[in-house]
Amino acid sequence: MGTEIGRVRGLGSAGHGAQHWWHHKLTAGSNFLLLVWLLTSIATLPSYDHATVRIWLQSAWVAVPMVLFIASVFYHFRLGLQVVIEDYAHKESRFVLTVLVTVFTFATAGTAIFSILKVAFGAAA
């Protein structure tokens, strides 16, 4: 039988209550702040040739917010794509698409963060 709270805990949308929704809202806020920085920073660059962009990305003042940007935006779009998949795909295709989106998110995020750190740590091209 258990207690009343014990019977309802873990139920709801996907067994996680409002966590998905709340994380989507939190990352929407951090995305907004990081995007205002990124758009301003890119728009004010003197030019967009390799040397200029590389020196720009090498600075800790750019590399750190850029890594945070990747983490925040990629987590946000992973949550969003999951909602889209759950709305339109069912049964096996829902499972397969969710796994593919998760793999896509980690693969692209890993490549992006590695690239930023490689430039920031000054490795030869």
Closer residue to other proteins (CB): 1 or 125: 125
Rounded CA-CA distance 31/90 in Å is 30
- Find out whether 75 and 27 touch, Cβ atoms under 8 Å: yes
Q: Based on the shown chain and the rule CB under 8 A, indicate whether residue 115 belongs to the binding site for other proteins.
A: yes
Closer residue to other proteins (CB): 5 or 125: 125
Give Cα separations from 49 to 2, 62, 67, 120, 121 (angstroms).
Answer: 66, 17, 21, 17, 20
Q: Based on the shown chain and the rule CB under 8 A, indicate whether residue 100 belongs to the binding site for other proteins.
A: no
Binding-site size for other proteins (CB under 8 A) equals 31
- Token pair recorded at residue 63: 């590399």
Helix H or strand E segment including 33: helix 19-43
Q: Based on the shown chain and the rule CB under 8 A, indicate whether residue 26 belongs to the binding site for other proteins.
A: no
Q: Based on the shown chain and the rule CB under 8 A, indicate whether residue 44 belongs to the binding site for other proteins.
A: yes
Could you list the residues that contact other proteins (CB under 8 A)?
25, 28, 31-32, 35, 39, 43-44, 48, 50-51, 53-54, 57, 66, 74, 77, 80-81, 84, 104, 108, 111-112, 114-116, 118-119, 123, 125
